Structures are given as C-alpha cells and as structure tokens.
Amino acid sequence: MAIICRNTIEAINHLAFRLDLGPDDVVVTTVVEHHANLLPWRRYAKVRYVECNPEGTFEPDAVAGALRGNPHPKLFAVTGASNVSGWLPPVGGLIQLSHEAGVPVLVDAAHLAPHRPLLAAADYLAWSGHKMYAPFGAAPLVGPRRTFAMGDPFLAAAGRSTWCRSTRCSGTLPQSARRPDRPTSSERWPSAPLPVPSQPSGGRRSAHNEHLASRLRSGLGAIEGSRVLGPGPLVPTLPVASFVVEDVHHALVAARPAAEWGISVRHGRMLLRPPLPASLARD
C-alpha cells in the first residue's frame, strides 16, 4: 500500500507516528542518515546508532551488533544512498540481516530512487517524487496495508475521521470504518517518476553515474587545498560529493563556482552537537 505524502520528511514522520512507538522502544539507525531519517525516530523512541568510520561508511557487522542489542529493536531505518557522500550502503544485504534478526526495515530512498531500482525486500520505503522530475508534493510511503489500517489519523481534521464528538473522534469506530490514512484530494501520484526515455537506462545509467562520480571526486581532489569527504575512489558512489577547503569560508568557496562558472554549490557549516529542542533531544 502507498500513502502519498508531500515529501520524504513527511513520509518518515508519518511512519514514525503510525508505528505506535513508545519512549522505551528502540529504533536502530545510522549516523549516515539525513535528518529526515533521524529526528522522527528521536521524537517517538530511543535511537540506537550504528557508528561510521572516518570515510562516512559503516560495516554490516556493526549493523548486526546493533540489531542484536537489548531491548530488541522495533525497526531498522537506513538510507539507500547518502546525500552527503553519495555512498550506497549494501542495503540488500542489510535488509536480509535485519530480517534474520526479526526487525523490519525502512529504506529512506530519497536519494536512491532517482538513480537505482528500489528494493522490494524492504518492509517500508519512502522517497520523494520531486527528486525525480515529478511535481512537488508527491512522495510515496510504501508499506504493508496492516500498518496503516488502524489507529488515529496522522492529520486530525474533517475528512479524516467519519465520527466526532466534542471529546472524542473516531477512536471507538468499528474497525471496518477506521481509515486513518486515506488519501486527500491534494495528494498526487508522481506521474512521470522515471527519467525521460532519451536518457541511458538501467545498468548504463548506473555506469554513467559512476563515471560522473569518479570525475567529480578526482577533479575536486586535484584542486590544491580541497579535501573530498566520503569513501575512497574505489568505492562506487552516486554523482554527489562533499568537500572542504581549509581556511577559506564556505560561502566564498560556493560563491566562486556560482559566479564564475554557473555551478550551483550547496554550502554550510556542520555543527557536530547542535542544540536541539527538548522534544527531539531524547537519545
């Protein structure tokens, strides 16, 4: 079943709400994730992190260790591709590991979906149509129907509950009438989710991506003073790279390629331990 959300952030928040997690439940995730796949879990449960090495990658053994820990995790939430380094975790094998440990898996496919086939073995998948040429506001959250069949509506308002009194809404409806996550009229399925036919497809597209990624990394690495982050040159990645230029302000590093070459660069400064609002600060 697919619930069409506005974006991956909303899709993962939606799932975190729907899984009915409590403060003592554990979700295993990794330090490689986008905030979309961290903060919703921190809001509802305890998060057990799989740490990464200095290249921003992690080993399946570390995942296996986290999955075996106590308390037994309710979910393993992992990215299909890092939005920072382009690294592609071995998600197929990780899903298998997780299932062997009896833990369902969410794959955050926001960054993976435009480049690689989705993983049917995942229990839950979330991705954004707008990252693959669909209109904004069309992000599927895919999972088994039973997850979405019961419980409070994610959005409480008219059209979401068929029965409402001044003190209670829909909670005591007969099961047949509970439809907590039915779509609204503004929800649109990505109408053209895959790249246009003139682009190379399948394996050729992956190979082309890897070629671009290696050009990007080697080019950036050859610039004096720049240091490319992420896995080494032998590890295939998506064509995205992060880099630092020591002793030069990041805004200037980004401004020059933009002003002089028309290249768009996203820049910023990472705070390793930013202050978080209390509702998100739980470990």
Which residues contact ligand PLP (rule: CB under 6 A)? Answer: 7-9, 34, 36-37, 79, 83, 108, 110-111, 128
Kindly tell me which of 108 and 170 has the beta carbon lying closer to ligand PLP.
Answer: 108
Shortest distance, CB of residue 7 to ligand PLP, whole angstroms?
3
Kindly tell me which of 108 and 181 has the beta carbon lying closer to ligand PLP.
Answer: 108
Shortest distance, CB of residue 162 to ligand PLP, whole angstroms?
30
Kindly tell me which of 84 and 161 has the beta carbon lying closer to ligand PLP.
Answer: 84
3-state helix, strand, coil in the chain (%, to 5): 30, 15, 55
Buried b (16+ CB within 10 A) or exposed e, 131-145: bbebeebbbbbbbee
Shortest distance, CB of residue 104 to ligand PLP, whole angstroms?
19
The H or E element containing residue 256 is helix 250-261
Q: Among candidates 86, 104, 75, 72, which has minimal Cα distance to 34? A: 86
Kindly tell me which of 174 and 274 has the beta carbon lying closer to ligand PLP.
Answer: 274
Kindly tell me which of 30 and 83 has the beta carbon lying closer to ligand PLP.
Answer: 83
Shortest distance, CB of residue 129 to ligand PLP, whole angstroms?
9
Shortest distance, CB of residue 81 to ligand PLP, whole angstroms?
7
Shortest distance, CB of residue 72 to ligand PLP, whole angstroms?
26
DSSP 209-266: HHHHHHHHHHHHHHSTTEEEESS-TTS-B-S--EEEETTS-HHHHHHHHHHHH-----
Pairing mode, if any, of strands 26-30 and 46-50?
Answer: parallel
Token readout for 255 is 């401004």
Pairing mode, if any, of strands 26-30 and 75-79?
Answer: parallel
CA 224 – CA 206 distance, rounded (Å): 29
Token readout for 222 is 């050859």
Q: Among candidates 196, 43, 3, 34, which has minimal Cα distance to 109? A: 34
Shortest distance, CB of residue 8 to ligand PLP, whole angstroms?
4
CA 60 – CA 89 distance, rounded (Å): 9
Is residue 187 within 8 Å of 4, Cβ to Cβ? yes
Kindly tell me which of 83 and 161 has the beta carbon lying closer to ligand PLP.
Answer: 83
Kindly tell me which of 128 and 161 has the beta carbon lying closer to ligand PLP.
Answer: 128
